[in-house]
Amino acid sequence: MEDISIIELLQKRDQSAISELRQKYERLCTYIAGNVLSQHEDIEECVNSACYEVWNSIPPATPNDLKSYLCRVVRNLAINRLEYNLAAKRDVRYTVSLDEISDCVPADSDDLISLSDLADTISRFLRTQDELQRKVFVRRYTYGDSVAEIAVRFSLNEKTVSTYLFRTRKKLKVFLKKEGYDYE
C-alpha cells in the first residue's frame, strides 16, 4: 500500500492503517530501534510506541514523507528509551553519532514546530548534497549505522566514510546558520 493511502486511513481513523503501516515499515523500524537499543523487548516496545504515536499524531499532522516521519519517531523513542535505561551510562555505539552531529545542530527545543522546521531544513540541505554523501549521512544519523557498516554497505574505505560525514556536517552547520539557526 502506498504511503498516501496509509495517511488517508490514519486520517479516517481506520484501524487497518496500523496493520498496513506495520506491514510496510516494521522491519525498518526494528532495524532503527535495534541500532540504538540492545534488548529485544525494548525494541518491540519502541516500534509499538512509534505506531501508537503516529496514530495519535495523524491527524492533525499530515507528513509529506511518512517513511521519514516514522523513522524520526522511532529514532527519538529509541534514544529516549536508551537514556531511560542507562541514565548517565549511555550506549557508546549510538552516543558517538549523536555527539558528532550535536556540534552542527542546535540543542533540543521544547517548541515542536521549531523541531519540525529544523527537520525540514535539514531535509532541504540533504537534497542539495551528492547522492552518496546524502545516503552515508542518513545511514549514520538516522539509522545509527556504524562507520564500518556504512563502509561495507557502499564499498568505501572507513576513512572515506568519516571524511564524507565530517564534510557534510561542516556544510550542514553553514547551511543552518544561513537559515537562521545561529545558536552559538
How confident is the model at residue 36, as a pLDDT?
86
Q: For the domain made up of 1-87, give the CATH fold.
A: Rna Polymerase Sigma Factor; Chain: A (1.10.1740)
How confident is the model at residue 97, as a pLDDT?
58
Alpha carbons 87 and 121: distance in angstroms, whole number: 30
Alpha carbons 146 and 165: distance in angstroms, whole number: 12
How confident is the model at residue 44, as a pLDDT?
92
Burial of 78 from C-beta contacts in 10 A (0-12 / 13-18 / 19+): buried
How confident is the model at residue 85, as a pLDDT?
73
Smallest Cα–Cα separation from 105: which of 172, 14, 28?
Answer: 172
Q: 91-184 sits in which CATH class?
A: mainly alpha
pLDDT tens string, the chain, 184 residues long: the values are: 898 999 999 999 998 999 999 999 999 999 999 888 888 888 999 999 999 999 998 888 888 889 999 999 999 999 888 887 766 454 445 555 566 776 676 655 444 446 677 778 888 899 999 999 999 998 888 888 889 999 999 999 999 999 999 999 999 988 888 888 765 5
Indicate where the chain has its CATH 1.10.10.10 domain(s).
Answer: 91-184
Terminus-to-terminus CA distance in the chain, angstroms?
44
Give the H/E segment covering residue 10: helix 3-11
How confident is the model at residue 96, as a pLDDT?
52
Indicate where the chain has its CATH 1.10.1740.10 domain(s).
Answer: 1-87
Give φ, ψ of 78 to 5 degrees.
-65, -40
Alpha carbons 20 and 36: distance in angstroms, whole number: 25
The pTM of this model reads 0.57
How confident is the model at residue 3, as a pLDDT?
87
Q: Which amino acid is at 135?
A: K
Alpha carbons 117 and 124: distance in angstroms, whole number: 10
